[in-house]
Structure 1
């Protein structure tokens, strides 16, 4: 989730791995422009290390350790951390009359002005189906906003979703609209 903590941890294998320096490197989307060093840690008595990061978008991480004379450098495989767009959903009325227009609004963080948002309704099988679309527009410097009216004819569970190449698909919490009859 956008700006939530991610823990990257590992362990150096073999003898005498306590107190070794491990460097964490990252390659932020768009990938391919190379890894840059972002943090260092020292291994504990068992050779374990841990890093905590708060990536803003999809990021590939790799650990590099200088282990000593016999194995000068150990490099881990790259690990991709996908960062979801953080979506919210508010409704103007959670108990609308049959046929009433309900306003759905919310935010998507980080900002992605112009990106499509899908408003989805849960089907009888438990899957979600898109019932309306809208676009994100400028909100604050930290988030984009959306706003859409929807005519509701029966009870239903709704959510919104959006994605982009630099972020994984984000989902809002579901909201149940109860249409009294």
Structure 2
């Protein structure tokens, strides 16, 4: 971390604060700490929010570090990959609370909201895999498998969306 000025550290802290705010907002979107319809999770729902509150500031710090070194941020494959990875991960954290937690909030179409998050995550996962391919073939393969999962998630959201239109 040596070599960063006071302005750079302010940028890093601002990025972390924004990501923490996004974590808190997405936790509220999640329906007050629980998922409706007994969504299948490997962990209890409160662990999901704990992971969110830990991961978002770390992602904000990563984005802030990248942003503070703007001379090479858009020229270096590593920085491009990390920035896309941050965007992809943030959207991935928003998908499940949007899909399972908003059904009790009037006026929010939860499959459509989750679909938007999944499309954004998929759109950033593909360039992430391409930029990571310049650094590590294994990392690129893992992110590409995640891209396939996001495409599957998008298809599931579309099916839910069609289903809700037909049912209503």
TM score, norm. by length of structure 2: 0.20
TM score, norm. by length of structure 1: 0.19
Q: Which structure has the highest helix share of the two?
A: 2
Q: Which structure has the highest strand share of the two?
A: 1
